[in-house]
Chain A
């Protein structure tokens, strides 16, 4: 699977603080927002969306405060294509903005109740305000994947002529699979003369795969969020994209991945959502092995069942003793406790552990294993003693 090193410069822009917070039911406090921005900056995320100034005074105060601080990351704020929204951004001290507008027929007709000409005029107006204020701007086409290609290319050409920094293609309703993404983004990026960025949703579990396909198709930037936090099913998860780029595409972003678990946990708490134990890359179960075959494999050589080392994302490997454990796990576990078992002893303890685990409907804690061991020892002693007594 080794691939040639991709020489292109690939960017990611994290939207945990914007679309992540926009998730129904999620609100970050000021301190949480600042802390998350700092963490993302510290691990080397190149660009961060920090908020939506048009939302009101509270949000503007937070955005202003973050913008006053010094960051290595380039900080963006989010605006709908309304001059008023962009002026709010300016008042907060923003230098970089995302200007969003829906481009699909269904959104134009049903949401805006307008037509395509109106969209073009709105966009031009918003761009004018942004330029007058000397802002760096990304144009974001909402529901772009249900948009007529000709119209989309026309908008890209307007954005490009007016000096946009990038053009964002939003797969707002998760319309694409990786193959369609690859074809569409290939077409768009070869016709466009400005960098293309892709924004994915996870409605059918394909956000990360679609993001990666977009990179293959010629996109140079992806929108991500920590843990995939975002409206509905969420967005492409930052940690998945970074690791998939590293291990599947051989593209290195130079991000400090060893803090991924820490950041995932922080965002999880701030958004009142636990990190599922099976969450790809950062879930605690990702490096937990129970089944006899897997544990045996991992003990012999971690590469049998692991592509990268758990410490690379801030996790640790766990060997779990439960219904599917094999005798190798028992031997290995007890070695950790400084107890050497014979194969026969391991098999007997395994049978007891399996029974107990089925009974409890869960794996066993280390303590419980020791209880089993102690009782097992006692029984064996008394067995040995019995014949002596008879003698």
Chain B
């Protein structure tokens, strides 16, 4: 593998403009998402998700595995017949009968998946490298005979010998495949390694590349972006990052990272993100964490004084995009870390005007309360706290109370 001077390569690339029209999303919530241990979608849910993805503007939907037959096949057939504007892809092993099943479903694209790493070839397939290349050639030929868009998936590409991976890509390309899917099956790459490997494939083989990344070490998004920087034009995402083990590159995170970190706006209707994520969370029987990047319920909720006062002065102090943009709401809550500005603002929003001094005293009371309750206060509790605070202090009242007690 040829050496690349990381620093110069990345400095150059960091400044390179990526054309938003070149980048395409191929969402696999319905395939790799559903393949997650414990997740099963009903067919109706699958159809609803496909429609939403199409409405938002994704370019391709990986609808499932036709070879599984039964319900799965029915769902794919239905999705392919909806007349959506995006492409519909079926997933296949490198087996002709799998491709036949895809054809029967009426999809316009197929993914043909086979392992390219020696460890998988020896221990899983129990075959040889030659057998793998032969299978690729035969199946691409076969699929092309049906005039389908063909993606060849190099499973476990990251642990594959680079020379063999290049032969694999060449075989796919020469057989007429439209793209190579680079699968970081175990999520073991970091962005730098990803960049070098993907760049090598693209520079040497000149084939379109799709990134399929996993989040085992928390790097799915970063690796997908590294692939794009290296020249990949497709990304295989899932809503909420749903996928086997730690999941895949999350659709909503990738789209927003491209827009706000890389300056690549694909023109998706992002305001639907929260509702799409909620839907998939329910259908997959998984709660959407409140801290989930982009769509979590807690993202625009502020409690700590330093942040809340910044955001109240100007949201840009702590936000790169507006909450409406992803279908969320901004909220101020009062808790252990709240201070004067936050308390004045919050009470004002509840229709109560207080002075700076009162806010200081309230801060102490609120801190004690939230520590005892081990959570932030509800609005009704805030009002209650204020009322009892107003009811108590002021020396005269205390004295009066004292006198009463004395009698």
**Given A111-B310, A175-B261, A178-B222, A286 contacting B304 (CB threshold 8 A):** no
B262 contacts A177, CB within 8 Å? yes
Q: Interface size (A, Cβ < 8 Å)?
A: 102
Contact at B14–A180, with CB atoms within 8 Å?
A: yes
Q: B40 contacts A357, CB within 8 Å? A: yes
Interface residues of A, dominant DSSP: loop
Interface: A55 (CB within 8 A): yes
**A209-B222, A323-B40 are contacts. A58–B310 as well, Cβ < 8 Å?**
no
Given contacts A24-B333, A24-B376, A244 and B219 within 8 Å (CB-CB): yes
**B319 interface contact, C-beta 8 A:** yes
Name the A residues within 8 Å of B217 (CB-CB).
208, 240, 243-244, 247-248, 280-281
Q: Which residues of A contact B364 (CB under 8 A)?
A: 56-57
Q: Is the CB of A361 within 8 A of B285?
A: yes
Asked if A186 is at the interface of the complex by the 8 Å CB criterion, the answer is: yes
Contact of B302 with A by CB under 8 A: yes
Using known A-B contacts A231-B307, A304-B124, determine if residue A285 contacts B320 with beta carbons closer than 8 Å: no
Q: Is the CB of A179 within 8 A of B14?
A: yes
Distance A186 CA – B10 CA, assembled complex (angstroms)? 12
- Which of the four size classes fits the interface of chain B? 35 or more
Q: Across the interface, do A233 and B293 meet the contact criterion of CB distance under 8 Å?
A: yes
Do B310 and A301 touch across chains, with their CB atoms under 8 A apart? no
Q: Of A256-264, A287-295, A374-382, which binds chain B?
A: A287-295
CB pair B303–A322 under 8 Å, yes or no, is: no
Interface string of A7-37 (1 = CB under 8 A from B): 0000000000000011111111100000000
Check if A248 sits within 8 Å of B190, measured CB to CB: yes
Give min CB distance, A266 to chain B, whole Å: 14
Residues of B within 8 A of A213 (CB): 190-192, 222
Q: Let me know if B225 and A208 touch, CB within 8 A.
A: no
Is B314 part of the binding interface, using a Cβ–Cβ cutoff of 8 Å?
yes
Q: Give the chain B neighbours of A237 by CB distance below 8 A.
A: 218
Specify the chain A residue showing the minimal Cβ separation from B188: A307
Q: Is the CB of B192 within 8 A of A361?
A: no
- With both beta carbons as reference points, the residue of chain A lying nearest to B216 in the complex is identified as A280
- Residues of B near A290 (CB, < 8 A) are 35-38, 244
Interface string of A196-212 (1 = CB under 8 A from B): 00000011111111101
Asked whether, in the complex, the Cβ of A280 is within 8 Å of the Cβ of B218, the reply is yes
* Complexed CA–CA distance, A290 and B285 (Å): 16
* B301 CB, min distance to chain A CBs, angstroms: 5
How distant is the Cα of A297 from the Cα of B120 in the complex, in angstroms?
8
B37→A363 contact, CB < 8 A: yes
Closest to A275 in B: B289
Interface stretch, picked from B79-87, B249-257, B349-357, is B249-257
Query: B37, A285: Cβ atoms under 8 Å?
Result: yes
Please report which residues of chain B, range 258-310, place their CB below 8 angstroms from some CB of chain A when the two chains form the complex: 260-262, 285-287, 289-294, 296, 298-299, 301-304, 306-307, 309-310
**Residues 215-249 (chain B) with a chain A CB within 8 angstroms:** 215-223, 225-226, 229, 241-247
A220 at the interface (CB under 8 A from B): no
Q: Is B73's CB within 8 Å of the partner chain A? A: no
- A24 x B302 contact (CB < 8 A): yes
Within the assembled complex, what's the spacing in Å between the Cα atoms of A37 and B88?
51
Cβ B40 vs Cβ A322 within 8 A: yes
Give the docked Cα–Cα distance between A279 and B246 (Å).
Answer: 6
CB pair A25–B286 under 8 Å, yes or no, is no
Q: What's the nearest-Cβ distance from chain B to residue A112, in Å?
A: 9
**CA of A113 to CA of B313, assembled, Å:** 10
Asked if A21 contacts B336 (CB within 8 A), the reply is yes
Query: Within the assembled complex, what's the spacing in Å between the Cα atoms of A203 and B376?
Result: 22
Q: Are B291 and A25 in contact, CB atoms less than 8 angstroms apart?
A: no
Bound: A26/B271 CA distance, A: 28
A179-233 residues at the B interface, CB under 8 angstroms:
179-180, 182-183, 186, 202-210, 212-213, 216, 228-229, 231-233
Could you tell me if B261 and A362 are in contact, using CB atoms closer than 8 angstroms?
no
Q: Within 8 Å CB of B291, what residues of A?
A: 23, 202, 228-229, 232-234, 273
Smallest beta-carbon distance A15→chain B, Å: 13
B-chain residues with CB within 8 Å of residue A287 when the two chains form the complex: 245
Q: How far is the CB of B241 from chain A (nearest CB, A)?
A: 7
Contact A303–B119 (Cβ < 8 Å): yes
Contact A179 B191 (CB under 8 A): yes
Q: Is A47 an interface residue (CB 8 A)?
A: no
Does B71 make an interface contact (CB < 8 A)?
yes
CB distance from A200 to the nearest CB of B (A): 11
Q: Does residue A278 face the partner (Cβ distance < 8 Å to B)?
A: yes
Q: A49 near B: Cβ within 8 Å?
A: no
Q: How far is the CA of A281 from the CA of B219 in the complex (A)?
A: 12
A323–B72 Cα distance when bound, in Å, is: 10
Please measure, in the bound complex, the distance between the C-alpha atom of A204 and the C-alpha atom of B289, giving whole angstroms: 15
B373 within 8 A of A: yes
Q: Which of A80, A216, A248 neighbours the largest number of chain B CB atoms within 10 Å of its CB?
A: A248
Besides A173-B320, A301-B123, 13 other CB < 8 A contacts?
A56-B363, A58-B368, A177-B222, A183-B14, A208-B219, A212-B219, A213-B222, A216-B192, A244-B217, A287-B245, A289-B37, A307-B186, A358-B40
In the complex, the 10 A-B pairs of residues with the closest C-beta atoms, listed nearest first: A209-B222, A208-B218, A290-B37, A24-B303, A204-B257, A110-B314, A288-B37, A205-B221, A280-B246, A301-B123
What are 15 sample pairs from A and B whose C-beta atoms fall under 8 A apart? Answer: A25-B376, A56-B367, A111-B317, A177-B225, A183-B14, A209-B222, A213-B222, A232-B291, A233-B293, A277-B286, A278-B36, A285-B38, A320-B37, A358-B40, A363-B40
